[in-house]
Amino acid sequence: MKQFKRFFRYAGALSLMGALVACAPTLKQTAQDDGTYSRAGRFALNVWDKTIDRNKEAVQGGFLWLDTTQRLDLDLRNPLGSTLARVSVTQGKATLVHADGSRVSAETPDALVAEVLGSEIPVAGLRYWLKGIVAPVAAEQEQRDAQGNLGSFTQAGWKVTLSDYDHKGPRKLGMVRNETLQTITVRLVINE
Residues 109, 93: Cα–Cα separation, whole Å: 8
Q: Which amino acid is at 133?
A: I
Q: Which amino acid is at 165?
A: Y
pLDDT at 38 (0 to 100): 92
Asked whether the beta carbons of 94 and 111 are under 8 A apart, the reply is yes
- Alpha helix (H) ranges present in the chain? 2-17, 109-117, 126-129
Does the pTM surpass 0.85? The reply is no
pLDDT at 11 (0 to 100): 53
What are the strands of the beta sheet with 83-90, ordered from one edge? 103-106, 93-98, 83-90, 71-77, 54-67, 37-49, 182-190, 169-178, 158-166, 150-155, 139-144
**pLDDT tens, position by position, for the chain (192 residues)?**
444 445 555 555 554 444 333 322 333 334 445 678 899 999 888 889 999 999 888 888 898 888 887 888 888 888 888 888 888 888 889 898 888 889 999 988 778 866 775 555 556 788 889 899 998 888 999 999 999 999 999 998 889 999 999 999 999 999 998 989 999 888 999 998
- The CATH architecture one would assign to domain 2-190 is Clam (2.50)
pLDDT at 20 (0 to 100): 36
Residues ≥6 apart with Cβ < 8 Å to 27:
38, 64, 66, 73, 75
